[in-house]
């Protein structure tokens, strides 16, 4: 039997990080979650609740919190869950304190703006001695924290490492499947957030279920084109961390990205929407980088381009919709 890691640290106490801490605790691990906010640390340690990012969900008392990254970094296994645009700074802060040989799992979905780096690229640049592993797939934090059935992907070129991570956090209701395709796992998670904003816009504009189905399907074509151009495997992109994650995120207003798009589609100003939110909508942050990657690899991604222009406030929603609907008719497989 594969020996699990016992001491698990979660770097990042947003909703998803908190949910993963809950999973690890339910699996019997000793769990420490690192948060920047003293309010979050106190709430988890005293009331067993993250009232800022996952309110209303009682946490396993085995989950402890700290604001000291030096303390947090001393673990057998680290789940890195900061927003994608902050992954580099968090890894850099943790680097001097990491246990020799301790693996790190990247759990953020996005592409770094400016550098166009995937999270595995960021890890390689900041911590080249650590072999990469990625956790991705369809799951909402509130459902995972409640113990509702969820399946995700653990991707790593090291099969033994992937299996040990699965043994550490796997539960009957939290089912990790392993894969060796890092690029597919990462591209699926990054692009689906951008497409979800488009689906939210369609919801807010009341364009109907057919429009959402078309956006999901053609969005999957965009995701696949970019992933294959970057070296991903088709079966990864059509699995949990690609198609599965896309369908979940685009089909529910529980998604921060879909709800952001819906608010925009209803005519609300972006600055007003963002002023009400603590959590990051990764699709908004990743959209410019995804579009830049599409240009770099010479693939067409018109939906992602439209989302980038909308959130960048370079085009109105009505003009973006008109532009998409005015594209030439062509064969579906193109």
What is the separation of C-alpha 26 from the centre of its chain, rounded to a whole number of angstroms? 22
Which string of DSSP letters, residue by residue, matches 97-157?
Answer: GPPTT--EEE----B-TTT--BHHHHHHHH-TTSPEEEEESS--HHHHHHT--EEEEEE-S
Which DSSP state fits 78?
A: E
Q: How far is CA 55 from CA 174, 275, 278, in A?
A: 21, 18, 12
Crossing angle of the two packed helices 282-296 and 302-311, in degrees rounded to 10 = 130
Q: Which residues neighbour 265 within 8 Å (Cβ) at sequence distance 6 or greater? A: 200, 201, 202, 203, 204, 205, 317
Q: How many CB atoms lie within 10 A of CB 231?
A: 12
- Catalytic residue, chosen from 58, 109, 192, 330, is 192
Report strand pairing: 150-155 vs 132-136. Answer: antiparallel
H or E element that contains 66: strand 63-66
Check: CB of residue 219 under 8 Å from CB of residue 250.
yes
Question: What tokens appear for 103 in the block?
Answer: 């693996």
Residue carrying structure tokens 């959590």:
279
Q: Cα(313)–Cα(325) distance, rounded to whole angstroms?
A: 20
Is 192 an active-site residue? yes
Q: Where are the alpha helices (DSSP H) in the chain?
A: 15-26, 38-42, 69-72, 87-94, 119-126, 141-146, 159-169, 182-204, 209-229, 234-237, 245-250, 256-265, 270-275, 282-296, 302-311, 317-325
Do 127 and 105 meet the contact criterion of CB atoms below 8 Å apart?
no
Q: Which residues are catalytic?
A: 192
């Amino acid at each position: 039997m594969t020996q699990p890691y016992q001491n698990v640290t979660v770097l990042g106490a947003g909703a998803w990080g908190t949910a993963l801490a809950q999973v690890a605790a339910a699996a019997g691990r000793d769990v420490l979650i690192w948060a920047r906010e003293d309010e979050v640390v106190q709430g988890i340690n005293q009331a067993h609740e993250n009232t800022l990012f996952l309110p209303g969900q009682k946490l396993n008392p085995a989950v402890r919190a700290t604001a000291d990254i030096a303390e947090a970094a001393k673990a057998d296994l680290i789940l890195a869950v900061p927003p994608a645009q902050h992954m580099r700074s968090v890894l850099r802060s943790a680097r001097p304190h990491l246990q020799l040989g301790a693996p790190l799992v990247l759990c953020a979905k996005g592409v770094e703006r400016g550098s166009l780096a995937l999270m595995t690229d960021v890890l390689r640049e900041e911590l080249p001695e650590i072999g990469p592993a990625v956790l991705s797939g369809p799951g909402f934090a509130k459902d995972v924290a409640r113990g509702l059935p969820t399946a995700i992907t653990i991707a790593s070129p090291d099969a033994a490492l992937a299996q040990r991570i699965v043994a550490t956090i796997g539960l009957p209701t939290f089912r990790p499947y392993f894969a060796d395709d890092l690029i597919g796992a990462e591209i699926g998670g990054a692009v689906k957030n951008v497409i979800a904003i488009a689906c939210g816009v369609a919801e807010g504009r009341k364009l109907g279920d057919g429009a959402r189905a078309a956006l999901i399907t053609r969005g999957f074509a965009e995701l696949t084109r970019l992933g294959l151009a970057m070296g991903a495997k088709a079966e990864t992109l059509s699995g949990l961390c690609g198609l599965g994650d896309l369908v979940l995120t685009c089909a529910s207003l529980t998604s921060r990205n879909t709800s952001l798009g819906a608010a925009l589609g209803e005519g609300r100003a972006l600055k007003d929407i963002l002023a009400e939110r603590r959590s990051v909508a990764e699709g908004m942050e990743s959209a410019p980088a995804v579009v830049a990657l599409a240009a770099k690899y010479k693939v067409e991604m018109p939906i992602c381009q439209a989302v980038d222009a909308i959130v960048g406030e370079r085009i109105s929603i009505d003009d973006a919709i008109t532009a998409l609907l005015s594209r030439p008719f062509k064969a579906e497989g193109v």
